[in-house]
């Protein structure tokens, strides 16, 4: 028997889903590409709104070009429900293992957003420098893949590495990945997209402040906690603006 042919039966679907949820996932990819958070690589996903043990992620394509038909459903071991010959992201395990570990998370963005990467390879910690990035308060973990698997190509190629990354993320909203990128999570796609964009913005602003020299006054604990606990977060306001940019003819 050919050992490369899986004898396992594909997982069953979590059932029908509101087309708007899939459209928003496609939109999220286009927005993140437009905002230079995702480039030719990186991906975002949502948990199935009606089945906690399924999620949606596009086939392996650049985020700027994906369409509704490219969205695939997976179980939390990142097995496809209905592959139909479509190529899968090597790093789909990031999503499945975070959804397993974090029942509160319904959307995940994995990016290589460029300004964040230097903070993953130096001793400079990424810290909240303005009110828009208060969600970084309390420390941003940095996943060291070498601790989990020694010498690798730095990609999250299986469930074991996905689980190790989810463990580093812990209860936080953002986790850096040393020499690779980061993951941002949220209770919905708008929040995860907001966090991915403002993680990149914060990294840029922090580097500019560091270049000016002298001590930097980051948000204090009381400040970022007050902002994080606000009920009127208005994530839909920038979402509408970002959407406008990518849906204009
Ligand atoms: Zn990656």
Distance 1 CA to ligand 1 centre (A): 33
Mean pLDDT on 140-152: 93
Mean pLDDT on 218-242: 89
Quickly tell me which residue has 């429900």 as its tokens: 81
Q: What tens digit of pLDDT does each residue of 73-82 get?
A: 999 999 999 9
Q: Which helix (H) or strand (E) holds 55?
A: strand 54-58
Q: pTM of the entire structure?
A: 0.94
Active-site residues, by number, are: 91
Specify the higher pLDDT residue, 237 or 220.
220
Q: What tens digit of pLDDT does each residue of 5-53 get?
A: 455 789 999 999 999 999 999 999 999 999 999 988 899 999 999 999 9
Check: CB of residue 119 under 8 Å from CB of residue 91.
no
Distance 85 CA to ligand 1 centre (A): 22
Distance 43 CA to ligand 1 centre (A): 8
β-strands 181-186, 71-75: how paired? unpaired
β-strands 142-143, 174-177: how paired? parallel
Whether pLDDT at 219 is above 90: yes
Distance 112 CA to ligand 1 centre (A): 6
Question: pLDDT grade, residue 233 (50/70/90)?
Answer: confident
The predicted structure's pLDDT at residue 2: 43
Q: In the chain, what are the helix, strand and coil shares in percent, each to the nearest 5?
A: 40, 15, 45
Check: CB of residue 29 under 8 Å from CB of residue 61.
no
Strands in 65-147 per DSSP E: 71-75, 107-111, 142-143
Distance 122 CA to ligand 1 centre (A): 19
Check: CB of residue 48 under 8 Å from CB of residue 82.
no
Distance 42 CA to ligand 1 centre (A): 6
Q: Report the mean per-residue pLDDT for the chain.
A: 93
């Amino acid at each position: 028997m050919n050992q490369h042919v899986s004898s396992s039966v594909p997982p069953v679907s979590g059932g029908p889903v509101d087309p708007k949820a899939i459209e928003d996932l496609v939109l999220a990819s286009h927005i993140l590409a437009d905002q230079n958070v995702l480039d030719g690589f990186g991906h975002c996903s949502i948990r199935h709104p009606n089945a906690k043990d399924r999620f949606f992620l596009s086939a392996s394509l650049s985020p700027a070009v994906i369409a509704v038909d490219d969205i695939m459903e997976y179980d939390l071991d990142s097995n496809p429900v209905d592959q139909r010959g479509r190529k899968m992201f090597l790093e789909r395990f990031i999503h499945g293992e975070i959804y397993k570990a974090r029942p509160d998370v319904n959307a995940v963005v994995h990016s290589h957003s460029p300004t964040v990467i230097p903070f993953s390879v130096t001793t400079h910690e990424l810290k909240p420098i303005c009110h828009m990035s208060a969600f970084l308060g309390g420390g941003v973990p940095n996943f060291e893949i070498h601790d989990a698997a020694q010498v690798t190509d730095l990609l999250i190629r299986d469930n074991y590495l996905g689980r190790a990354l989810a463990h580093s993320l812990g209860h936080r909203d953002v986790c850096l990945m040393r020499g690779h990128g980061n993951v941002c999570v949220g209770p919905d796609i708008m929040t995860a997209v907001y966090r991915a964009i403002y993680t990149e913005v914060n990294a840029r602003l922090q580097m500019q402040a560091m270049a000016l020299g002298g001590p930097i006054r980051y948000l204090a604990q009381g400040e970022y906690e007050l902002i994080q606990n606000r009920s009127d977060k208005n994530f839909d306001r920038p979402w509408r603006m970002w959407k406008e940019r990518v849906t204009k003819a």
